Each structure stands twice: as C-alpha cells, then as structure tokens.
Structure 1
Amino acid sequence: MSTDAPEPQAVCSPTTSSAIFIVATLKAGKESAEKVKNWCADIAAITRSVGKRVPAGNLSCVCGFSSSAWDVLFASPRPVSLHGFREFGVDGRRAISTPGDILLHIRADQMDLCFELVTQFTSVLGDAITVIDEVHGFRYFDMRSIIGFVDGTENPVGRKAANFTIVGDEDPAFSGGSYVLVQKYLHNMVAWNQLSVEAQEHVIGRKKLSDIELDESVKPSNSHSSLTTITKDGEEVKILRDNMPFGRPGAGEFGTFFIGYARSPEPLEQMLENMFVGKPPGNYDRLLDFSTAVTGNLFFVPSLDLLEELADR
C-alpha cells in the first residue's frame, strides 16, 4: 500500500488477551440513523481517550457495517463486494444468517479497557441500536481454542497480513477497508472429549501438543485444516483470524467466536462452503459433528478516513 493510501482500521492489530464482540441492529428511523452516523466521526477519538488511561493495554476497535445497514446509513456508493451473509450447508449442519447491522470488535490486554470502551459507545448510541449479541472472549492458555488446539497458526503476518486483508485498487473508493465475517460456534465438549487425542488430531489435521500439521499422507481430506486451506490460481489465499474462546462452565456453554478478515468475501465464503457443504459435496468438515454455528454475519470495515467522512454523507 502506498504512503498516501487511506489508513485502515485496527484490522491487523497485535493479538491481545481479551476482546468483546458486539453485534447490533439499527433502530428504524432517521433520528437513529443520524445518531449512528455522527458517532462514526467520534469512534477513533473515544477509543484514544479510553486507551490513554492504560497506554500499554493495546486497546483497539474495529467497526463494520452490514449490506442492509450501509444502504440505510450511507446509500451510494457502496463497497463492490458487500452483500448479505450467504448460508451454506444442510439442515442440522448449516452456516446460518442472523440479524446484525453493526459489528464492534474491541481488543485489549485488559478486559476492563474493553468493558469501558463498550460502555462509552453504547452510552453514546443509546436506543439507536439494539445489541443482539455480546461475547466476552479470552485467550486460553497458549493461544488455544476451547477444544484444546492452537488457533490461528496460519495467520499471515506483517506486510502479508495487510495484503490479504486490506482492499486496494480493485475498489478504489473503498481502499483501506476490509471485509469481516463472524460466527458464534457452540461446542459439544462431552462428545469431543470422548475422542482420543489421535482422533481429535485427525479431525483438526494437526498435532494437539506441538501444533505441527499432519503429513498429507495421513491427514484426512475432511479435516478442518484441509478444508479451510484455500488456493486460487495455484496460490494460497489467506484470511486473518482473531478467534476467541468464550463460555459459561456453570451453564455448560463452551464456544468459539470466529472472526475472519479478508480483502474480499470470496475466500471467507469458500471456506464455509468447503466446511458445511464439503469438498467434494458430502465430504464436510468433521469438526461440525461437534460444533454448531448459531450466528452468522458479513460486514464491511471502512478505512479510518472513510469512517470519519461517512458522518457527513
């Protein structure tokens, strides 16, 4: 990206120990729309103000908008690849679409920073929005998911992270932006823990302790890692994941909040199709025998520059 390119939001922020994910719907009416648009110009300033209280806390915020919310709030022009969440799969194994107009992905090394920023944002927005889903995520031991395997091993880093996640010349009016897909998964930990470690490794496609990928000669074609590796024209196309475990052990709830960033929805949707439909069809991700997607949304994350400009659109 050139030095005069629009500044992206904190899509490629460093990994943190805590996060809060907010998915909200927009209340109908001009007054609510104007309140949200005005808030867009203040997001960065409010984040800086809260973050300055603990400079080493690595507080950041990413804000995205759904296709329908974009039409209501900002109209035309619109990001070229923004559309509603596309469902994949069959009954009993389906990536479902659920309501959601606005996404907030708030990260920090302290949960109190995340909590304070969400509190400030919801205070400003008031009844202009309705929070549909709020997930408080945490890092689990050495970067592991709730099912015990390291998560995000194949994430691109540095310049490659930006190349795979930030829109460029393919959509000049929205360069510096990003697409983000989110899903909340609930896991059947009783059934999962009944598997041997070796059986779990064949479901995931990696060694559980070392995180080393299984050799292609023994890795099943329906393993999670096999079906989420995307290639186009002979080259691997990566996404940037920042998944977080969440749960309520007392209620028997154990989950993963999946969040994936990319410069186009295409690789994100191809992964879901491979997982839920199968490659070839029927050869679906075995992890879905133990994990159920209960939400699904696609959003566009405008650049910081555009986010401020949208207040006046």
Structure 2
Amino acid sequence: MAREQFGVCAEPSLHGYYLLFNALDDNNSFIRQALSHLPALFDKYADRFSEANLAGVIAIGTNYWDEIYPKGRPKHLRPFPEMASDDRIAPICNYDIYIEIRSDRGDVNHIVATKVCELLADSVELVEQVRAFRFLDGRDLTGFVDGTENPQGYHRREIALINEEQDAEFSAGSYLHIQRYRHNLNLWNSLEVKDQEDVFARTKVNNEEYSEENKAPTSHIKRVNLKDSDGKSIEILRQSMPYGDMKLQGLFFVSYCHSPEPFELMLASMIVGDENGHSDHMLKYTQAETGAAFFVPSLNVLAELGK
C-alpha cells in the first residue's frame, strides 16, 4: 500500500520555509537519487528535534515530471491554469522542484533547508525561497483567519490524497498548486473594518461567516465556496502561510487536492467570475506574483527514483 508524504496533511505549523528549484542540464540522474534520499533526511531531523513537529513535502513540477519519472504520469497532471481578466491576473512561473519545510522552530527549518540545498548541490538552481510564519491565531496579514473552510480530521486525507480508485499507480499522491500573493496592506488598512468584512463576507475579530443573504456576490467567500452539480462542497486542503518584512507582505498560498480541478474552478471563479461578471473583490488588495503546479508523489514513488 502506498504511503503518503506526511507533510501534505500535517497540522498547521508556526514556521514555514518554501524552496523552489529549477534543474540544470543533464543532472536528472543525480537529482533522482537526491530526491529519493530527502524523506530520510526529513525523518532524521524530525527525530533529532522531536519537539519541533517537523514536516516536509517534495513535489515535482508538471513540466519536469516526464524527465524525472518517465515510467508513468499521474492521470490529471497538467500545467498551472494561466488566467487574466481586466486587472486580475494569475501568472505562471516555471519551477521544476518544490520543497516545503514546516515546523514549530524557525531555526530547525533553516537547518533542514540548508541540508536540502547541500544534498541537491549544483544539480539545481534555487529560483525562489520564502520564509513564512504563523500569524496570531492562524490569520493572514489582512487580519482575517485563513483556511477556515479546511477539511478536518480524516477528511483531510480524503480531499488531499489520491486513492486507489482514482489512480492506482499514483495513489497517496497529491496535486499541488502554489501562488505567492503580495498584499497592498496600505490600501487594505485604509478601509473601515466593516468594509473589510464585506469583502470577505466574514467578521474580522470573531471569524463569523455572514448569512447567505448578506454575502455580496463579489465577496471572497462567495467566490471560493463552490458547489458541484450534486450540491456538495468543492474542497481543497490549504497549507498557506503569511510571509513578509517591513517592505513587502503577502500570503504564500498552498493547495493540495486529489484532483487539480477544484483549485482551477476556484481560481476561475475569483478571476473570471460568474456569468454576471462578479469576480473576487479581494483581488483589489492583493496580487499573485507567481503560480505553479506540481505533483506530490507517494513515498513509494520517491523510493523508485533512487533505483
């Protein structure tokens, strides 16, 4: 039975470190070996710093998958859906490898990130690195709780992980989408709290969702809380975290799911909007600067890379 990477469904952490790499020419054999050794590296430091609750995720970019694992391809693996409508844009960035390191200690994340880079060595180029952190009680820097609609308990696995019936060869894997959003907090904080709440359709302090009749069709909740043809909620597992310093701030958005479709539907609802032209007004105050799609293979597939 395939085993999933623990970090996909792990509970929220206090600190995150996201590493995005591109492979350099003719290094695929070395990279396969290095990636196959990463789970053991995560386990080593998770044991050494057991109080930190370390969790890691290794993912392969959609454009790089066939090179790194020519034996097979996940059924629904496809590129990030580039979208644009008026001034709302979802750009695409090409990354070959994604490494997510999360724990309750920023120094442990730094140690593990250093070891990851040492292991991959000169076979890759580090294109982007983002240090993220938990803000207050799981809030985005806008002041609103992030991931309120996340699945809980065992349901997290049902949403995030592919099962045997969906794709037996790649069961226990997950489709991953990331976007690094940059917030315009000066503009956002110029709004009255009630106006901010109307943009979200949720109260800021108590995190109470508006009643259905009080949600504007342009509110963030209205645009991302979607239903399928049977009336069931369309869900993803978010593992997003805020990042920033005194110059720029934002959210590193991370979505795991057993299919790429739920994320794609939500993104289209935000950017393109509905048949009446209602898009997500939260996008007036934040802009995605990156976007990429990956596949998170099971530990079994990662082990195959080293053979």
What is the CA deviation profile of residues 148-183 of structure 1, one whole-angstrom value per residue up to 9, with x for unaligned ones?
000111110111111111001111100010011000
Alpha-carbon distance between aligned partners in 1 of 2:35 and 2:183, rounded to the nearest angstrom: 35
Q: Please name the residue that 1:25 is paired with.
A: 22
Q: Does 1:75 align with 2:70?
A: yes
The correspondence of residues 234-273 of structure 1 with structure 2, limited to 5 A, is: 234-249=231-246, 251=247, 253-273=248-268
1:189 to 172, 179, 185: 185
Match in the other structure for 2:306: 311
Q: Distance in 1 between matches of 2:223 and 2:71?
A: 36
How many residues matched? 304
The answer for the alignment partner of 1:37 in structure 2 is 32
Matched, 1:141 2:139: no
The 5-angstrom pairing of residues 56-71 of structure 1 reads 56-71=51-66
- Separation in 2 of the partners of 1:13 and 1:152? 14
* Cα displacement string for residues 73-98 of structure 1 (whole angstroms, at most 9, x for unaligned residues): 11241001111111112253111101
Structure 1 stretches lacking a partner, 5+ long: none
Structure 2: distance between partners of 1:184 and 1:91: 20
**Runs of at least 5 residues in structure 2 that lack an aligned partner in the other structure:** none
Look up the equivalent residue of 1:27 and give its one-letter code.
L
1:99–1:132: 8 Å Cα contact kept in structure 2? no
- 2:10 pairs, out of 8, 13, 36, with 13
Find 1:172's aligned residue among 168, 171, 175.
168
Please give the alpha-carbon distance, in whole angstroms, between the structure 2 residues aligned to 1:241 and 1:281.
28
Alpha-carbon distance between aligned partners in 1 of 2:178 and 2:275, rounded to the nearest angstrom = 24
State the partner residue of 2:204: 208
> Secondary structure at the residue paired with 1:307?
helix
Residues 123-172 of structure 1 deviation map (CA, whole Å, 9 limit, x = unaligned): 01112111111110001111110100001111101111111110011111
SS at match of 1:20: strand
AA paired with 2:16? A
Q: Following TM superposition, by how much is the alpha carbon of 1:309 offset from its aligned partner in structure 2, in angstroms?
A: 1.1
User: In structure 2, how many angstroms separate the alpha carbons of the residues matched to 1:273 and 1:76?
Assistant: 32
Q: Is the 8 A contact 1:25 1:132 kept in 2?
A: yes
In the alignment, residue 102 of structure 1 is paired with which amino acid? I
RMSD: 1.1
State the identity %. Answer: 34
- Quote the offset at 1:23 in angstroms: 1.3
Deviates most, 35-44 or 171-180: 35-44
Range 187-196 or range 49-58, more displaced: 49-58
Cα 1:281–1:105 change in 2 (3 A) is farther
Once the two structures are TM-superposed, the CA of residue 40 in structure 1 deviates from its matched residue by 2.1
| SS of equivalent to 1:147 | coil
CA distance in 2, matches of 1:72, 1:281: 43
> Aligned equivalents of 1:269 and 1:67: distance in 2?
15
CA distance in 1, matches of 2:171, 2:155: 16
Q: Distance in 2 between matches of 1:281 and 1:272?
A: 16
Cα-to-partner distance string for 1:33-82 (whole Å, 9 max, x where unaligned) = 11110012211111111222211111011111112111111124100111
- The CA deviation string for residues 100-120 of structure 1, in whole angstroms up to 9 with x for no partner, is 111111110001111111100
Matched, 1:291 2:286: yes
CA distance in 1, matches of 2:275, 2:156: 29
What is the match of residue 194 of structure 2?
198
Cα pair distance change 1:281/1:26, threshold 3 Å: farther
Deviation at 1:291, TM superposition (A): 0.4
Report which stretch shifted further, 257-266 or 233-242: 233-242
Change (3 A) 1:178 1:79: same
- In the alignment, the residues of structure 2 paired with residue 121 and residue 296 of structure 1 have an alpha-carbon distance, to the nearest angstrom, of 22
CA distance in 2 between counterparts of 1:265 and 1:72 reads: 21
How many angstroms apart in 2 are the aligned matches of 1:98 and 1:281?
A: 30
Structure 2 residue identity aligned to 1:262: C
Indicate the larger mover: 294-303 or 235-244.
235-244
- C-alpha distance in 2 between matches for 1:67 and 1:150: 31
Alignment TM-score, normalising by the size of structure 1: 0.95
Q: How does 1:216-231 map to 2 (within 5 A)?
A: 216-231=212-227
